[in-house]
Chains A and B, each alone.
Chain A
Amino acid sequence: MKTIYLAIVLAPLLAAVLAGLFGKAIGRTVAHTVTIAGVAVSFVLSLIVFKHIALDGGEIFNGSVYTWMVSDGIHFEVGFLIDKLTALMMVVVTFVSLMVHIYTVGYMRDDPGYQRFFSYISLFTFSMLMLVMANNFLQLFFGWEAVGLMSYLLIGFWYKRESAIYANLKAFLVNRVGDFGFLLGIAAILMYTNSLDYYEVFAKAPDLTNETMSVIPGKEWAVMSVICILLFIGAMGKSAQMPLHVWLPDSMEGPTPISALIHAATMVTAGIFMVARMSPLFELSETALTVVMVIGALTAFFMGLVGIVQNDIKRVVAYSTLSQLGYMTAALGASAYAASIFHLMTHAFFKALLFLAAGSVIIALHHEQDMRRMGGLRKYMPITYWTSLVGSLALIGFPFTSGFFSKDSIIEAIHLSHIPGSTLAYWLVLLGVFVTAFYTFRMFFLVFHTDERFRQHAHDDHGHGGDPKESPWVVTLPLVALAIPSVIAGYTIDPVVVGDYFKDAIHVAHGHEAIAHMTQHYHGIWAFVAHAFKAAPVYLALLGVLAAYIIYMQRPQVADWFVDKFGWLHRILDNKYGFDSFNETVFAGGGRALGSMLWRGGDAFFIDDVLINGTAKSVGWIAGKVRHIQTGYLYHYAFAMIIGLLLLLAQLVRKMLFG
């Protein structure tokens, strides 16, 4: 099996190297063929692995590929851990990636950086696979940073755009803030367990339950809480949780396929995956779980609200991603890891679908992204329309779609959780359902229904007037291929969530059995659906759709009235709560000011002027003399030294030759 695992990661890597280094030589067609083939190989092999591990009950694989280094007796390895969690992630990652690869053939058709783009997305797939397949923290960190790098390169793919190269720098730096915490977490793990291997660390972690450390002198904190919160800071960066979420909306500057691949389906799920993978650690710290849950729930609700006031179609989907990641994170805090990963999977399908559908609309309208200049596209783009509807329904958790099962599980699990903060989290995620439905269908109506507003803004001067056309098959095929799991993936709730699918991969401590509780009351899929109709979320979702319908289809003046009456609220949302301006002023501006101060005040003034030149001045006239004759002095000095060296050398030669 090890050969297969190697092939899974190496296939996209080799394809990426080929397309990246020899792109010009091999041409466009070969470039996309090899990269698609590489990812297809990964996908098929991942399916085989999935069958082996998940369906046939194959052995968990935990083995090293090579020893990266040994230092201080600690083995730093590159190796794989393949269990059911990994197998599921591999299938999701390679499937979405394959769809995005195919889609890219159509979307990037006219782009001069065609080969480079394929190289990047394949390299990204490699990075993400390394991340999910890791069996140790070193490789996890490698994949962690590598997906960050690919995100940097892809957001800034159109490097001539000032906004794109601003966004990619911001994304990388904000992610680095998360990585900063993550790396400290890894260092803490090494300190207390002397290992970076997952299983060894998990085995030793329970002994640390009662250990404390003092980060701030005089205050003793539980070691496990410190470790888990540090690791979670990393997750906040990658999975864009408040306040490290600021990079994700801006990342929409990248081409749409990568918005789907990286900023919806894969990279941003790295944090969720990591916490689930580390469940044996997080389960040891209720404090950490509370932090995770509250931050997740806050993100879920407040980022959803911002989605309501966005006009750029991709930004609506981006804020929706933030909000959905919040749901997953909150579920992790409730120890409902299975529900969280389940939502990760369903979300990967329907969110990739929504992004690709948005991309389809964007190309049909010649790179128009403003929803105020869309509308009525339903009759021109039937496939995009119907698949978008599927994606939207799944996103709001409409009954029978995949999102319904996964989101309901999350809300139910948070409801059942008893850790501090769970009541607040429950209300936030519950209200979030209404918000989600509202912004989703606001978008849906504004794009596909309502008046055709694109005509007055059509770029006639470019000579492509006329009606928008449905996208070519390379674009619509992935839409359909993603729409199918967006519906049916939910029916795997048994065994993924309420079954024992994750038995060996995820650990839940006593007292945190929200999922176990759900399992007890689970009596088949239809009972689950019937039960849902007796609970609030379904009605909140329908209410959200209804509200969007009334405001955007029937009474457009309501929206204006709202903006008029609640201007302050609209401004807060429009400014995204001021995170960006705060960061720009305090961190970016403050950092530069501090740098200037240290440079001018510390280096130039204090060290150079006061210390160095001051010393020179105190030597008085000697300094003056030296200043006059310095050039000559230096050469003389140099000359004298060479002579001296030669004399010493001659002495040595004499000794050696003549004794």
Chain B
Amino acid sequence: MFADWPLLSLVIWVPIVGGMMVLAAGDSGAAAARRIALGVAVVTFMLSIPLFTGFDRSTYLMQFVEQTPWISAFNINYHLGVDGFSMPLILLTTITTVLVIIAGWQVIQKRVSQYMAAFLILEGLMIGVFCSLDAILFYIFFEGMLIPMFLIIGVWGGERRVYATFKFFLYTFLGSVLMLIALIYMYSKSGSFNILELHDLKLSLGEQKLIFLAFLTGFAVKVPMWPVHTWLPDAHVEAPTGGSVILAAIMLKIGGYGFLRFSLPITPDASQAFDWLIIFMSLTAVVYIGFVAMVQKDMKKLIAYSSIAHMGFATLGMFLVFRIIANTDSMQGAALGIEGGVVQMISHGFISGALFLCVGVLYDRMHTRQIADYGGVVNTMPVFAALFVFFAMANSGLPGTSGFVGEFMVILASFKANFWFAFLAALTLILGAAYSLWMVKRVVFGDVGNDRVAALQDLNQREFLILGILAILVLLLGLWPAPLLDVMHASTEHLLQQISHSKL
């Protein structure tokens, strides 16, 4: 029945229009704003389900395609479509938004309608990023989604929110400007902004290198990759819980997605020439950031650093292919790396989202994020403690949770490229466990740390519901990742074909 529905347009515009409606409802009715927002988010989520159930797993071609001329003068089209990489990310977005709306139900008392609206509009824009097949449309969504995020941090953020938004803005803006230049350059050569046509555009190695670096600047900041990561911990610390969740769970994925959609297929030869750089940056993220995460005193910063380290696996997996071919004379293993990278992104969405929500639960009660202010939380919040330990374990890549799947695949693939890649990547087993569980030890376990901990109330039903859903998702993906993987195979194979064919 959904076959002829413009599903992608719906999942983009329903939340945006819904967000406008919530805004219009105004602050006169905070309760109404919440309910409408939740309704819109749930409808959007339901609209995204047919994208999964109706997805044709046998083809790499774009699906649910919509195409309308938009600005004909520049051959810009309203062109949407999804493949095996973008579809799961859309589902991740719609699920996470529902959870974030519920999470802000009670906590947000200031400008409720604006808060809810910001998240809904943000949702639509992010989904737009994932399904745009026109580069300009992509760019507009890509830039546009920063606005609600600025507002979320700037209005509902912590004390140093201005500093954080400023840093966030400087980094991301600088990156995307270079990307725009690259897109316009390619348009000047091809006369098209169609991303799929750009995939086939002939480019010399010099051109490819410049374009690759321009994209890299844009995407590396988003992921974020070392060394352009320092905006993230600040942004997270100042963002309200919901903002952190969206930032970690979805916005970071846009960088990784960009590599798959733009860098690798458009500039395969430059990707090969610069793969050492990406691999170096990724491994540095895993090891360097792993150590940095360990010494954080602020829980949110710790999780933010842990995000950077985990996203290192996503980027590492995507760029292993050339080294695997060089080392083993075969492509075998390359797909494992790319798919592992995507699985890692999805899984990280659930786990980091859940961890930020956990910190939010504590922050709402004690108004501090400092690890040292806690201790023995398990005594007063046993249910919360169980979930927190579970997510910390997932964060340290325990098999049976989703955190294991992507890391496992990428480590297996990286061994084929180089023993030392795998060696450094596998250090996450130790580092990830060290920073996650050391935090758990200091926050959750032990005797009751102080009177404020002694007065804590365990999770309410709403909090339990959100964390429970995430726990189930983490477990499900960990115990049976096959359905997610099956969606990707055709797209992965196609991507590997594209990047193994030199454009020179």
Residues on A lying within 8 angstroms of B by beta carbon are: 66-74, 141-142, 145-146, 149, 152, 156, 159-160, 162, 165-166, 169, 172-173, 176-177, 179-180, 183-184, 186-188, 190-191, 194, 213, 215, 591-592, 594-596, 598-599, 602-603, 607-608, 611-612, 616, 630-631, 634-635, 637-638, 641-642, 645, 648, 651-652, 655-656
Q: Which 3 pairs of residues, A with B, have the shortest CB-CB distance?
A: A187-B415, A595-B295, A595-B291
Determine how close the nearest CB of chain A comes to the CB of B39; give it in whole angstroms. 23
Asked whether any CB of chain A lies closer than 8 Å to the CB of B50, the reply is no
Contact in complex: B415, A190 (CB < 8 Å): yes
Beyond A162-B447, A611-B227, list 6 extra A-B contacts (CB 8 Å).
Answer: A72-B339, A142-B399, A180-B430, A602-B292, A631-B154, A655-B68
Asked whether any CB of chain A lies closer than 8 Å to the CB of B150, the reply is yes
Residue of A159, A169, A187, A602 touching B437 (CB-CB under 8 A): A169
Q: A68-B482, A70-B485 are in contact. Are A180 and B426 (CB under 8 A)?
A: yes
Contact in complex: A69, B294 (CB < 8 Å): no
The A-contacting residues of B in range 412-455, CB under 8 angstroms, are 412, 414-416, 419-420, 422-423, 426-427, 429-430, 433-434, 437-438, 441, 444-447
Would you list 19 pairs from A and B whose C-beta atoms are within 8 A, ordered by A residue? A70-B482, A71-B335, A146-B400, A159-B444, A159-B445, A169-B437, A184-B411, A188-B415, A191-B328, A591-B291, A595-B295, A596-B295, A602-B288, A634-B150, A634-B165, A637-B150, A645-B140, A652-B70, A656-B68
Contact in complex: B423, A634 (CB < 8 Å): no
Point out the residues of chain A lying under 8 angstroms from B292, CB to CB: 595, 598-599, 602-603
B296's closest neighbor in chain A, by CB? A599
The A-contacting residues of B in range 379-436, CB under 8 angstroms, are 379, 393, 396, 398-400, 404-405, 408-409, 411-412, 414-416, 419-420, 422-423, 426-427, 429-430, 433-434
Contact in complex: A177, B411 (CB < 8 Å): no
Asked whether any CB of chain A lies closer than 8 Å to the CB of B104, the reply is no
Q: Residue among B146, B291, B398, B412 with the most chain A CB within 10 A?
A: B412
A165 to B162, CA, bound (A): 39
Determine how close the nearest CB of chain A comes to the CB of B106; give it in whole angstroms. 26
Contact in complex: A655, B482 (CB < 8 Å): no
Contact in complex: B447, A160 (CB < 8 Å): yes
Contact in complex: A594, B166 (CB < 8 Å): no
Q: A176-B433, A595-B294 are in contact. Are A69 and B144 (CB under 8 A)?
A: no
Contact in complex: A70, B433 (CB < 8 Å): no
Q: A194-B332, A595-B294 are in contact. Are A69 and B150 (CB under 8 A)?
A: no
Point out the residues of chain A lying under 8 angstroms from B154, CB to CB: 631, 634-635
Contact in complex: A149, B419 (CB < 8 Å): no
Contact in complex: B230, A607 (CB < 8 Å): yes
The A-contacting residues of B in range 132-183, CB under 8 angstroms, are 140, 143-144, 146-147, 150-151, 154, 162, 165-167, 169-170
Asked whether any CB of chain A lies closer than 8 Å to the CB of B264, the reply is no
Residue of B398, B412, B479 touching A149 (CB-CB under 8 A): B398
Contact in complex: B446, A160 (CB < 8 Å): yes
A188 to B400, CA, bound (A): 22
Point out the residues of chain A lying under 8 angstroms from B146, CB to CB: 641
A176 to B69, CA, bound (A): 56
Point out the residues of chain A lying under 8 angstroms from B444, CB to CB: 159
Determine how close the nearest CB of chain B comes to the CB of A145; give it in whole angstroms. 5
Where chain A touches its partner, the secondary structure class is: helix
Contact in complex: A68, B399 (CB < 8 Å): no
Residues on B lying within 8 angstroms of A by beta carbon are: 68-71, 78, 140, 143-144, 146-147, 150-151, 154, 162, 165-167, 169-170, 227, 230, 288, 291-296, 328, 332-336, 339-340, 376, 378-379, 393, 396, 398-400, 404-405, 408-409, 411-412, 414-416, 419-420, 422-423, 426-427, 429-430, 433-434, 437-438, 441, 444-447, 479-482, 485-486, 489
Contact in complex: A592, B294 (CB < 8 Å): yes
A54 to B221, CA, bound (A): 61
Determine how close the nearest CB of chain A comes to the CB of B278; give it in whole angstroms. 18
A203 to B109, CA, bound (A): 65
Point out the residues of chain A lying under 8 angstroms from B144, CB to CB: 641, 645
Point out the residues of chain B lying under 8 angstroms from A631, CB to CB: 154, 162
Point out the residues of chain A lying under 8 angstroms from B398, CB to CB: 145-146, 149
Point out the residues of chain B lying under 8 angstroms from A165, CB to CB: 441, 445-446
Point out the residues of chain A lying under 8 angstroms from B420, CB to CB: 215
A162 to B441, CA, bound (A): 9
Contact in complex: B437, A651 (CB < 8 Å): no
Contact in complex: B419, A215 (CB < 8 Å): yes
Determine how close the nearest CB of chain A comes to the CB of B492; give it in whole angstroms. 8
Point out the residues of chain B lying under 8 angstroms from A652, CB to CB: 68, 70, 78
Determine how close the nearest CB of chain A comes to the CB of B447; give it in whole angstroms. 5
A599 to B226, CA, bound (A): 12
Contact in complex: A169, B441 (CB < 8 Å): yes
Residue of A141, A594, A648 touching B291 (CB-CB under 8 A): A594
Q: Residue among A68, A72, A187 with the most chain B CB within 10 A?
A: A72
Point out the residues of chain A lying under 8 angstroms from B294, CB to CB: 591-592, 595
A213's closest neighbor in chain B, by CB? B419
Determine how close the nearest CB of chain B comes to the CB of A52; give it in whole angstroms. 29
Point out the residues of chain B lying under 8 angstroms from A177, CB to CB: 430
Contact in complex: A180, B427 (CB < 8 Å): yes
A177's closest neighbor in chain B, by CB? B430
Point out the residues of chain B lying under 8 angstroms from A638, CB to CB: 147, 150-151
Point out the residues of chain A lying under 8 angstroms from B411, CB to CB: 183-184, 187
Contact in complex: B399, A146 (CB < 8 Å): yes
Point out the residues of chain A lying under 8 angstroms from B422, CB to CB: 184, 187
A160 to B379, CA, bound (A): 8
A375 to B340, CA, bound (A): 59
A638's closest neighbor in chain B, by CB? B147
A141 to B165, CA, bound (A): 43
B292's closest neighbor in chain A, by CB? A599
A602 to B308, CA, bound (A): 15
Determine how close the nearest CB of chain A comes to the CB of B436; give it in whole angstroms. 10
A166 to B440, CA, bound (A): 11
A74 to B489, CA, bound (A): 12
Point out the residues of chain B lying under 8 angstroms from A146, CB to CB: 398-400
Point out the residues of chain A lying under 8 angstroms from B378, CB to CB: 159
Contact in complex: B482, A641 (CB < 8 Å): no
Contact in complex: B430, A176 (CB < 8 Å): yes
Point out the residues of chain B lying under 8 angstroms from A72, CB to CB: 332-336, 339
Q: A162-B446, A634-B169 are in contact. Are A191 and B333 (CB under 8 A)?
A: yes
Point out the residues of chain B lying under 8 angstroms from A607, CB to CB: 227, 230
Contact in complex: B480, A68 (CB < 8 Å): yes
Determine how close the nearest CB of chain A comes to the CB of B443; give it in whole angstroms. 11
Determine how close the nearest CB of chain A comes to the CB of B390; give it in whole angstroms. 10
A73 to B336, CA, bound (A): 9
A322 to B336, CA, bound (A): 39
Contact in complex: B412, A141 (CB < 8 Å): no
Determine how close the nearest CB of chain A comes to the CB of B85; give it in whole angstroms. 14
B419's closest neighbor in chain A, by CB? A215
Point out the residues of chain B lying under 8 angstroms from A635, CB to CB: 154
A416 to B140, CA, bound (A): 76
Point out the residues of chain B lying under 8 angstroms from A159, CB to CB: 376, 378, 444-446
A611 to B226, CA, bound (A): 13
B376's closest neighbor in chain A, by CB? A160
Determine how close the nearest CB of chain A comes to the CB of B315; give it in whole angstroms. 18
Point out the residues of chain A lying under 8 angstroms from B480, CB to CB: 66, 68-69
Q: A190-B415, A595-B294 are in contact. Are A183 and B333 (CB under 8 A)?
A: no
Contact in complex: B379, A191 (CB < 8 Å): no
A247 to B161, CA, bound (A): 44
Q: A146-B399, A149-B393, A638-B151 are in contact. Are A655 and B376 (CB under 8 A)?
A: no
Determine how close the nearest CB of chain A comes to the CB of B263; give it in whole angstroms. 21
Contact in complex: A184, B399 (CB < 8 Å): no
Q: A71-B485, A162-B446 are in contact. Are A612 and B230 (CB under 8 A)?
A: yes
Contact in complex: B339, A184 (CB < 8 Å): no
A597 to B291, CA, bound (A): 9
Point out the residues of chain B lying under 8 angstroms from A215, CB to CB: 419-420
Q: Residue among A67, A156, A176, A194 with the most chain B CB within 10 A?
A: A176
A459 to B188, CA, bound (A): 88
